[in-house]
Structure 1
């Protein structure tokens, strides 16, 4: 191969590396664009793929010995690492008292396997269960699977053949405080608010089921997330709070990060890295995004995790909390 041919091939390598870098950086930069344009909203969930793509590009650039292209690629990798790596380091308090275990499950129009839900509840010794997309049939099936004997109280209601029903089950006494709340105007789903009496300490919990950012519904989706941030801001600073359920959003969405501010996402605190709770059932793609979250304030995260079950496209999430010292 002549010297001119070698230079020409090197230029093509550089152009290819540069094109891939631009695409990956542009995709990653979407996380800072607060928009309701549905293609961008979907693109904002691609953060983990961007990070993996940049790492692969770094390796390819080094193997091809395109040294001058290595600098911009390395800079992009460092930026991606500063965003992704904190999620892989735990900040839990594993030796703290295990005062409260909360679990959330989207039952997918009531189709989730009730026995597996009940098994997960018992396996993790759950005190409070937030069940969205619950139908009367699903409620009956969960009861027959043993949850009627496990929980002593519940709030919310089921809805027949619908994704709008939500029920909060509890082993502790609870008081439903749901009323006509502007926070709930942006979603057709019930989002009951309860105060759980955990051995004398009140914990205020808001069930969450934000609309999915489907075409034509992204305005309501973002408005629902912003409304929940309003709910967070109006809570008393000396009362533990929890937002639990299906947010239909993840860290790549600016509206979710704004809602998360001042709260702890249990799975991020637990250092579980790339948590994926959707999609699990009847989808060709593997799970790749965390749409379900447990956001808390004034509670210490002891442990967190997730469970995949049959019948629903969402994974179950759970977390163990320690109450503030009195």
Structure 2
């Protein structure tokens, strides 16, 4: 009986021209999701264009998924395996957007409504005025509030929100924090755009309030964006032991390392995430693209979250964030 040698292992067949194009297309589609997801996993915002692309992170599952389909169609095992890894990592990297369960300690002392609104150079002032009349908040954090905006808000709500801390300026520089509670210890975080803050006495408890509005991460000024977010982080770290509320247009999402550093430093919770609404986009409300990222936030320490809503403001490219909160007493 003749013995035969085992057949040689199968070798990959040469790619047909159509499959070669498909494989190249799959590889190109993987580049951006792989690079951005790697930076997210490594907890770095890196340099341009990573900070800008991180705003799209949950949406990068689309090109990653398409790359997987193309790699499978091209019958390239290694490429298909790489596409599976990138798609899985991109989807996993969106986990911080998921609901967050937090056990609240201490009795509720006061119910507080807070609004964070960017009125885009004052153009959304009229719409914000209507929102304040309808919702009756106790705290309002307004970014890009020029002098005309400031005068309108302080005069219109002189009875309901008689206390305020402000940074006067035109365009994006002006900002104001309106309060139904007396304010003291006014301070300002140094920044290109106004970031006023103060301490409010709410139900006998001192609560530190801070408006946030760092520069956006535009190409050429990412280092300034990081520096101003770092200043907010340093402020949050100093307030970590007491009730704190930081609200405004952060020009950063939960996929940015610099934003997550603020949460960690101050023991803060994003009210939107607590309310299972962290994927709700707040920007851009104008222009050719639909809103795709949440960069407007209300961050809290010492508060429980009842509800969060997002309100359109005619004239502004941002949605306002309305957080319904309970100030909690000591444990």
The alignment partner of 2:94 has SS state of: helix
Q: Using the TM superposition, give the Cα deviation of residue 128 of structure 1 relative to its aligned residue in structure 2, in angstroms.
A: 0.4
Residue 66 and residue 268 in structure 1: after superposition, are their counterparts in 2 closer, same or farther (change >3 A)? Answer: farther
Structure 2 unaligned blocks of 5 or more: 1-12
Do the aligned partners of 1:158 and 1:165 also contact (CA within 8 Å) in 2?
yes
Deviation at 1:39, TM superposition (A): 2.8
Q: 1:5 to 1:233 in 2, by over 3 A?
A: closer
Equivalent residue in structure 1 for 2:121, among 106, 109, 122: 109
Give the alignment of 1:139-158 within 5 angstroms: 139-142=150-153, 146-158=156-168
Partner of 1:17: 26
Judge conservation of contact 2:278–2:294 (CA < 8 Å) in 1: no
Q: Report deviation, 1:205.
A: 0.9
Match of 1:296 in 2: 300
Tell me by how many angstroms 1:143 deviates: 5.3
Match of 2:8 in 1: none
Q: Quick one: structure 1 residues 136 and 219, their matched pair in 2 at CA, closer, same or farther if it must change by over 3 Å?
A: same
- Name the structure 1 match of 2:62: 52
* Superposition deviation, residue 263 in structure 1: 1.5
How far the C-alpha of 1:222 sits from its partner, in A, is 0.9
Q: Cα distance, 1:230 vs. partner?
A: 0.9
SS at match of 1:103: strand
> In the aligned structure 2, how far is the partner of 1:233 from the partner of 1:87?
23
Alignment counterpart, residue 252 of structure 2, candidates 249, 253, 259: 249
Question: Alignment length, in residue pairs?
Answer: 312
1:76-225 correspondence runs (5 A):
76-89=86-99, 91=101, 99-114=111-126, 116-142=127-153, 146-159=156-169, 161-171=170-180, 173-179=181-187, 184-185=189-190, 187-225=191-229
How far residue 147 of structure 1 moved from its aligned partner, in angstroms, is 3.1
Asked if the contact 1:280/1:287 (under 8 Å) is kept, the reply is yes
Output the TM-score relative to the length of structure 1.
Answer: 0.83
Report how far residue 192 of structure 1 moved.
1.8
- Structure 1 residues 118 and 25, CA gap change in structure 2 (3 angstroms): same
Question: Counterparts of 1:273 and 1:189 in 2: how far apart (Å)?
Answer: 25
CA contact under 8 A between 1:176 and 1:193: conserved in structure 2?
Answer: no
Does the CA contact (< 8 Å) of 2:213 and 2:248 recur in 1? Answer: yes
Does structure 2 retain, via aligned residues, the 8 Å contact 1:28–1:46?
no
Aligned-pair CA distance for 1:273: 4.3
Aligned to 2:313: 309
Secondary structure of the residue aligned to 1:155 is: strand
Q: 1:284 to 1:102 in 2, by over 3 A?
A: same
Larger helix percent: 1
What secondary structure sits across from 2:328 in the alignment? coil
219-228 or 196-205, which deviates more:
196-205
Note closer, same or farther for the CA distance 1:153–1:60 as it changes in structure 2 (3 Å cut).
same
Q: How does 1:261-300 map to 2 (within 5 A)?
A: 261=264, 262-281=267-286, 283-300=287-304
Q: Which has the larger radius of gyration?
A: 2
Give the structure-2-normalised TM-score: 0.82
